[in-house]
Amino acid sequence: MGLSCARNLPATNVTYYDAILYANELSKKQSYDTAYIYTKAEFDGQGSCVNLEGLAFDPAKEASRLPTEAEWVYAATRDWDASRSWNSGNSNYKVHAVCSAKPNRYGLCDMAGNVMEWVNDRLSPLHDSEYVDFIGRQEAANLEEIVIKGGSFRNAESGLNY
């Protein structure tokens, strides 16, 4: 179906690779380096990026990037309230304008509900260890192993995750 983005609505139908390409372009626009490198981009017939060959992430770069799962969870759980989200109980099964649900006390909105969000991490088991600046597993993985956070207008309030 390809990327869909209307004025005041969150972008939808975004692949993980589309999000990475957007982050790189945003970095360039803001005169930063890019956090993601790759050797080749592959697109489907609708213009969505379906693969970035040789993809590597450099967390040391000052650049726009997807949040790590830990960063996303930290931000979301500081004032998590799924009752302020667009979910299957109140959304009429459609996307709503960005931040049209009440923001939390930190000014964050749509962390729960409306549309799901890609984070930088791949699924990996956490062990009983302390991590400092955890950036998640970095080795190649298929898209089924990329972490998605939040929830969408299609999820029940009880099914929104952080």
pLDDT in tens, 133-157: 555 555 555 556 788 898 899 999 9
The overall longest dimension of the chain from CA atoms, in Å, is 44
Q: Which of 140, 14, 135, 159 is nearest to 70 (CA)?
A: 135
Give the C-alpha separation, 19 to 10, whole Å: 12
What's the pLDDT at 79? 80
Confidence of residue 1 (pLDDT cuts 50, 70, 90): very low
What's the pLDDT at 82? 85
Residues 86 and 114: beta-carbon distance below 8 Å: yes
Q: Which of 8, 64, 95, 3 is nearest to 150 (CA)?
A: 95
End-to-end C-alpha distance for the chain, whole angstroms: 27
What's the pLDDT at 20? 96
Residue 9 has pLDDT above 80, yes or no: yes
Tracing tokens 């009429």 back to the chain, one arrives at 92
Residues 150 and 101: beta-carbon distance below 8 Å: no
Give the C-alpha separation, 149 to 58, whole Å: 22
Q: For a pLDDT cut of 90, what percent of the chain falls above it?
A: 49
What's the pLDDT at 146? 85
What's the pLDDT at 159? 86
